[in-house]
Amino acid sequence: MQLNRGRIWLGGLVGGVVWTLWSFLVGKFVITDARYVAAQNAGFFLKTPRYPLFAVQWILLLFILAIAVAHLYAWARQGLGPGPGAALKVGFLVGFFAGFPENFAHRPPGSPAIAGSLLAG
């Protein structure tokens, strides 16, 4: 089956715009300025960026990832069928695979590692 690469790129670009807007809205309204300043003062976030073009890189990466997810959807829709249900399945799986390892990186200091807690239990 031939994939319509133009539609994939269009979907990826639209997804990049939506993802960028979503990222901005979450950063602006969910993570409020007071919480962000408190996290900076506690040492969780840097007070000054490491390099001045971080925002440009962040937006560029969101567009690259959105195009990659559009390709995944195009490949998966042959088996899942077209439509929003297939797109949601692909999106949820990508979100899970992207976020799952990070949960282990942010365990509280002093808490047992996952393997140690499973063995001790």
Give residue limits of the domains in the chain.
Answer: 5-120
User: How distant is the alpha carbon of residue 50 from its chain centre?
Assistant: 21
Q: Residue 3's pLDDT is what?
A: 86
Per residue in 5-20, pLDDT tens?
999 999 999 999 999 9
Residuewise pLDDT in 10s, the chain (121 residues):
688 899 999 999 999 999 999 988 887 777 777 888 888 899 888 888 888 888 899 899 999 999 999 999 999 988 888 888 998 999 899 888 887 777 666 666 665 555 444 444 4
Contact in structure between 63 and 16 (CB atoms under 8 Å): yes
